[in-house]
Structure 1
Amino acid sequence: MSLHFTKMHGIGNDFVVLDCRTQPFALAPAQIARIGDRHTGVGFDQLLTIEPARDPSCLFYYGIYNADGSMSGQCGNGVRCVAAWLRRAGVLGTGAARLESPSGAVSVELLADGRVRVDMGEPRFAPGDVPLTLPAADPYALTLDGGRIEFGAVSMGNPHAVVEVADVDAAPLAQIGAALSTNSHFPQSCNVGVVQIVERAHVRLRVQERGVGETLACGTGACAAAAVLRRRAQVDATVAVGLPGGRLEIRWQGPGHTLWMTGPAAFVYEGDWE
């Protein structure tokens, strides 16, 4: 099997992008995991496929697969890379366009400075939408591994738990992430973020993604953290989210409005998997 791919990243969150516009995607989860292995494969956080749209209102569909071969409903850094890939392919111009993700339609805007602005939809906090099998609360609280963890929960097309901490660098993300993401109250598991408020317009974030582990950046995680804190009136409508790989701009006016994410997308190299 010879498979041509493009390696890309969004502030360190890295991807293998496959052009499946004319040839159906046919990789099994075990094959995806082999390509995703950072020692014996190409290595990536997610594999992205670009396919014909199912929704006639959208130009293209993109699929999202984690490094372990499991599927994901949304990927904020990934959609920016998809939009940049389509622009380079000559099928997407500067301005607004509509793409289809596994969790629904997404509007993207290619900016003149090379960044991509994405309408990530309205954050969904209802427990059934996350999904989370606890009565609605903010914060939620669970006793895990002998300790109490308080967190916000939200869906950005995929489930997120957000834990506010005093020092993001010192926070035991691996321990917190393992405890929350595998908890039975999250029937689909979840991504877990630890966030530190620096000031009202600036927060710092680390994210452990389900099926991947800790990543240099997580676009939906940045959206989730900003949404949880904005809902609590702890940050401004526009907030810079600093992640280990770089910075994203998140803008959310609050309930009744969609959330916008702006950030870069970078090409790394082209390759062929044999």
Structure 2
Amino acid sequence: MKINFTKYHGLGNDFILIDNRHDSTPCLTPEQAMKICDRHFGIGADGVIFALPPQESSDYTMRIYNSDGSEPEMCGNGIRCLAQFLASLEGKKNSNHTYNIHTLGGIICPQLQGEENVKVNMGQPYLHPTEIPTTLASGQEKAINQPLSVQEQNWQVTCVSMGNPHCITFVDKVDEIPLEKIGPHFENHSAFPKRINTEFIEVVRPNYLKMRVWERGAGITLACGTGACASVVAGVLTGNSDRACTVELPGGCLDIEWSAEDNHVYMTGPATKVFEGVYLYPS
């Protein structure tokens, strides 16, 4: 089986993009996506993104399989890459075109800005514990500064959904967090019935946050767009940050704004083409 693909990355969070516009079903199974994402025996990526036909008055549909074969609701860095991929397929590079993309987390609207940058209207954050979902803050309207015990250590966490679930904790020195050891325990904690993405945030100043992330289904990644958005929302809710922030990730910086006017979160950052090719999947 021959599969045409294009490799993109958003601040080092890398994806294999596949033109699947001819069919509403992804052309790969989750197990096949896992093999293609393998960094030693495949192409290597944090996930595979499929551009599918539209649903519900959208322009296109986005589906994504993580490197472990799981399927997240959506992906912030991934949707910027998808927008650039679609623009390349349609010959709309370097335009200011806006796409309406149907995802499992709702309709997301990325707008092309110049050669590589994409500004994405990520919609409104979900803050009620049942919407995230989490069992923390039961009976309350928001899960803010909730105590959580992980690996015999007590953490103060704030939970936000950007169409996918996030747990945010503010720390003094983010580089000192043993992410590879505690990340899996956060992800699979019983307080999060659908597992969780976890962001560790150091407040450099109110308009500049430094972030490391453990992504559900992918582990340590160089960037997480929805995580950066959720972290700014959590920063505002806890009094740690301004509504407009630069978020520094290991792979680079994103500009995030939680608008007071429409309650939507806006993310601006690059999406870069790496290479394209044909993958010969063994039959």
TM-score by length of 1: 0.95
Which of 180, 184, 187 is equivalent to 2:190?
Answer: 184
2: CA distance, partners of 1:150 / 1:174: 19
Q: Aligned pairs, how many?
A: 273
Secondary structure, in 3 states, of the residue corresponding to 1:81? Answer: helix
Secondary structure, in 3 states, of the residue corresponding to 2:87? Answer: helix
Match of 1:55 in 2: 56
Match of 1:82 in 2: 82
Secondary structure, in 3 states, of the residue corresponding to 1:17? Answer: strand
Residue 5 of structure 1: how far off its partner (Å) = 0.5
Residue 154 of structure 1: how far off its partner (Å) = 0.6
2: CA distance, partners of 1:197 / 1:147: 21
Match of 2:154 in 1: 148
Residue 150 of structure 1: how far off its partner (Å) = 1.4
Which of 233, 242, 245 is equivalent to 1:236?
Answer: 242
Which of 252, 257, 263 is equivalent to 1:257?
Answer: 263
- Judge conservation of contact 2:144–2:237 (CA < 8 Å) in 1: no
Instruction: List structure 1 segments (4+ residues) > 3 angstroms apart after TM superposition.
Output: none
1: CA distance, partners of 2:3 / 2:118: 27
- Judge conservation of contact 1:231–1:254 (CA < 8 Å) in 2: no
Which of 108, 111, 118 is equivalent to 1:106?
Answer: 108
Secondary structure, in 3 states, of the residue corresponding to 1:15? Answer: strand
**1:61-81 Cα shifts (integer Å, max 9, x gaps):** 111110011101010001101
**1:28-56 Cα shifts (integer Å, max 9, x gaps):** 22111111111101111111000101112
Greater shift after overlay, 255-264 or 67-76?
Answer: 255-264
Residue 114 of structure 1: how far off its partner (Å) = 3.2
- Matched to 1:237, the amino acid is R
Secondary structure, in 3 states, of the residue corresponding to 2:14? Answer: strand
- Judge conservation of contact 1:122–1:255 (CA < 8 Å) in 2: no
- Judge conservation of contact 2:116–2:272 (CA < 8 Å) in 1: no
- Matched to 2:22, the amino acid is T
Superposed counterparts of 1:206-225, under 5 Å? 206-225=212-231
2: CA distance, partners of 1:94 / 1:64: 25
Unmatched 5+ stretches in structure 1: none
2: CA distance, partners of 1:96 / 1:256: 18
**1:85-134 Cα shifts (integer Å, max 9, x gaps):** 11111265423331111211111211135310001111111110110012
Match of 2:26 in 1: 25
- Matched to 1:42, the amino acid is I
Residue 144 of structure 1: how far off its partner (Å) = 2.5
- Matched to 1:53, the amino acid is P
- Matched to 2:8, the amino acid is M
Secondary structure, in 3 states, of the residue corresponding to 1:95? Answer: coil
- Is 1:267 equivalent to 2:268 in the alignment? no
Match of 2:45 in 1: 44
Change (3 A) 1:170 1:255: farther
Residue 26 of structure 1: how far off its partner (Å) = 3.1
Secondary structure, in 3 states, of the residue corresponding to 1:33? Answer: helix
Match of 2:176 in 1: 170
Change (3 A) 1:219 1:54: same
1: CA distance, partners of 2:26 / 2:43: 18
Superposed counterparts of 1:122-133, under 5 Å? 122-133=124-135
2: CA distance, partners of 1:225 / 1:96: 25
Residue 176 of structure 1: how far off its partner (Å) = 3.0
TM-score by length of 2: 0.92
- Judge conservation of contact 2:233–2:243 (CA < 8 Å) in 1: no
